[in-house]
Chain A
Amino acid sequence: MNAVRRGLGNGLVQAFLVVVGLVWMTPLAGLFVSSLRSAEDTAEGGWWTVVTSPGQLSFDNYTALLKNAGITQAFWNTVLISVPTTVLVVVVAALAGYAFAWLDFPGRETVFLVVVALLVVPVQIGLLPVAKLFGQLGLFGTIPGVVLFHVAYGLPFAVFLLRNYFAEMPKEMLEAARMDGGSEWRIFTRLVLPVGRPAIASLAIFQFLWVWNDMLVALLFADSSSQPLTVELQSQIRQFGSNIDVLAPGAFLSLIVPVVVFFAFQRHFVQGVMAGSVK
């Protein structure tokens, strides 16, 4: 009797979760199917009509997208912004994280507490002052400007994460390396970085996605020649209805990279996002 009830309960749970799963997939499926339909078909009826007339589907929107210079340029800009940002954040934060964990310098504790405090500082407060600063330095509207801003606002979390991870390393290991006469630089590159690889991987993935998906920072700091995909697509949203044959495949293009990264590095991704959520 109990087993029957439990079986029934489990059936209900399964059914409920299946429904939730379907609800979660529907919006994404809608975008993908819409990206394969012509503007005329979209004006005529919903994307679900492909069930009855699958002839609507074609890759024409995507071939048109690849010929759209604005979009392809923006796609490369996205790459040119997110890859250097990720590398810089990892390098700068690893250096600082190691120093905060294992090197002795005056005010170490206090400075690190400031870094911890900076974790939650909203990006918004930096927009205006940094825009003025970049204006004077000639960085406003350039890719290096966007990168620098992202690096700075990615650093508190990155330093925090790596410092904590490095601090867990066994003290004996480092002391042995020092006894062997390795310079700090050598210890850093030969010992700390390899040992810290899991944390660095999580950080790199999180940082890459964060920057890849950013719109706000680039909206201000990039001009039309350096803007990433998110900003390019955003500029077409005002004519949402008439641009859907560009917006839908464009959005899909912009999300497929993070989603592939997500499935390829599930564990690092989840850990990175979990750790990064304190921001």
Chain B
Amino acid sequence: MTSTLVKETRPPGAAGAAPVRRDRRRGRTAALLFVLPALLLLGALVVYPVLFSVGRSFFDASGTRFVGGENYTEMFRDPATIKAIRNTAIWVVVAPALLTGLGLILAVLVEKVRWATAFKLLLFMPMAVSFLAAGIIFRLAYDEDPDKGVLNAAVVSVHDAFQGTSTYPTARARDGQGVTKEADGSYETRTGASPGDAVALGLVGVLPEDLPGGARPAYAAAGRKAAPDELRGVVYLDFTRGGGGEQGKVDRRESGLPEMRVEAVRDGRTVATTTTASDGSFRFEGLADGSYAVRLPASNFAPPYEGISWLGPALVTPAIIGAYLWIWTGFSMVLIGAGLAALPRDALEAARMDGANEWQIFRRITVPLLAPVLTVVFVTLVINVMKVFDLVYIIAPGPVQEDATVLATQMWLVSFGGGNNQGLGSALGVLLLLLVIPAMVFNVRRFRRSQR
């Protein structure tokens, strides 16, 4: 405080060489006091740990024996870390490119609507949400049970709308009752039938409460005689509730099986198709003379479509990348949008005057002019994607964790999560650092250029 006083009493313009030096020294002390807290923290908790980890990575699991580069060669031998490296590579190749592309498309399109701000806000909002919350959100969305996970609910309803559902996934034929199961899951009559015949195909394994609504007893239909030019029959449930009834015979109270697809097959070729009525009856008309097999195709008995196993070993990484897209698309869109707003309007207008269409303008003018922004977005995303941890850790269910593992999760597992190999863990940490060094160089260079 004294030095301040001295300065105040000095008349202006009388600043000689000595006070300047003293001034500078005063500045120096102040400067050191100003930067000291930051430098202490950075030195103790960032710089020293980096050096420590580099050193530690040359020692064995317990840290007592120097092993040279062994941890680094181990990294490429151990199947788990190889898997992690491969998955990180997939992430780096797929996610930044998708995000940049998606962000570019949305940024260009959103310019054309009046509610652009609202849309940008909506898409940017997931950036505020923690990876943990996003992970829980997507664990829910990806749930395999179509009655719980919204994605599979959508997939199953779309599938069923196009493919239809099978009505009798559990039905089967009794042995030795004239109906046999074929290799493809269909059922066929053993003996041939010709126009003028009536056949009865009995099945079991359908719970009475699983019968389609409106199913009626098959007895009356089974008793009807076939006209000379028709082949007819019933498909019925060969089971009488409460016991009684005779196997292989349509008893009085036994139900028909409606909505069953029935085919008439001759020499291995399907020549006619029909569907059973509510009492299980069916008929083929206008068949040429000869012997036919009556077949109930496998589609009647297909197990219900269960949707996609999003979090199974095969799809877990793409599924987690999907969640990542949900979080980061807004970022990419807003950053590219800012670049878009800074584009020279003249160039775009001139191109429009020359009669270029929107696609040509996009390809030939917008994208090339945006290249620097796109690069920044892409590089930023690559750095972030390399370090992805929480999302993988949360979304991948326990047993699938090792299929989804990336460098950051593997580093965690090896060092703290039971692996307890801090030598290998440190080496993985150093690998992560090495991977971001190009970005480090890029940052330093860009900064130095901006200072000139």
Contacts and interface: CB of A to CB of B under 8 A. Distances in A.
Interface string A1-40: 0000000011001101100110011111011001000000
A212 interface: yes
B138 A27 contact: yes
A215 interface: yes
B334 A251 contact: no
Contacts of A179: 12
B334 to A, nearest CB: 6
B139 A113 contact: no
Contacts of A273: 127, 331
A95 interface: yes
A125 B432 contact: yes
A46 interface: yes
Contact of B27 (A104, A121, A263): A104
B56 A116 contact: no
A64 interface: no
Contacts of A252: 133
B24 A181 contact: no
A274 B132 contact: no
Could you say which of B48, B128, B439 has the most chain A C-beta atoms within 10 Å of its C-beta?
B128
B53 A129 contact: yes
A117 B444 contact: yes
B7 interface: yes
A93 B27 contact: no
A230 B448 CA distance: 39
Nearest to B383: A120
A261 interface: yes
Contacts of A279: 383-384
Contacts of B141: 26-27, 30
Interface in A219-252: 220, 230, 233-234, 237-238, 240, 244, 247-248, 251-252
B147 interface: yes
Q: Which of A125, A128, A214 has the most C-beta atoms of chain B within 10 angstroms of its own C-beta? A: A125
Interface stretch (B104-112, B234-242, B247-255, B274-282): B104-112
B389 A216 contact: yes
Contacts of A21: 119, 122-123
B49 A255 contact: no
B76 interface: no
Given A104-B31, A125-B432, A155-B42, A248 B140 contact: yes
Contacts of A129: 48-49, 52-53, 56
A100 interface: yes
B443 A278 contact: yes
A270 interface: yes
A132 B41 CA distance: 16
Contacts of B45: 126, 130, 133, 148-149, 152-153
B335 interface: yes
Nearest to A273: B127
A87 interface: no
A57 interface: no
B422 interface: yes
B136 A237 contact: yes
A115 interface: yes
Given A95-B34, A104-B31, A128 B426 contact: yes
Given A116-B444, A125-B50, A255-B129, A240 B429 contact: no
Contacts of A111: 35, 39
Given A103-B34, A215-B390, A155 B41 contact: yes
Contacts of B41: 92, 148, 151-152, 155
Given A13-B113, A121-B436, A181-B4, A99 B34 contact: yes
Contacts of A10: 112-113
B121 interface: yes
A227 to B, nearest CB: 12
A43 to B, nearest CB: 8
Interface in A98-143: 98-100, 103-106, 108, 111, 113-130, 133
B8 to A, nearest CB: 4
Contacts of A209: 128
Given A116-B443, A153-B46, A233 B429 contact: no
A46 B153 contact: yes
B128 A261 contact: yes
Contacts of B380: 277-278
Nearest to B45: A152
A34 B429 contact: no
B105 to A, nearest CB: 9
Contact of A247 (B39, B136, B335): B136
A164 B135 CA distance: 35
Interface string B112-146: 11000001011111111111110111111100001
B158 interface: no
A84 interface: no
A127 B411 CA distance: 10
A258 B50 contact: no
A14 B112 CA distance: 8
B28 A105 contact: yes
Given A128-B415, A255-B129, A274-B335, A24 B46 contact: no
Contact of A96 (B28, B35, B326, B389): B35
B8 A181 contact: yes
Contacts of A45: 147-148
A269 interface: yes
Contacts of A13: 109, 112-113
Given A98-B34, A152-B45, A213-B130, 20 more contacts: A24-B126, A27-B326, A30-B140, A44-B147, A45-B147, A47-B150, A92-B37, A96-B39, A99-B35, A113-B448, A127-B429, A128-B49, A156-B42, A179-B12, A188-B34, A255-B128, A255-B133, A270-B334, A274-B331, A277-B331
7 contacts: A21-B122, A46-B153, A126-B46, A130-B45, A215-B394, A259-B128, A270-B124
Closest 8 interchain pairs by CB? A213-B130, A152-B45, A103-B31, A96-B38, A99-B34, A129-B49, A129-B52, A105-B31
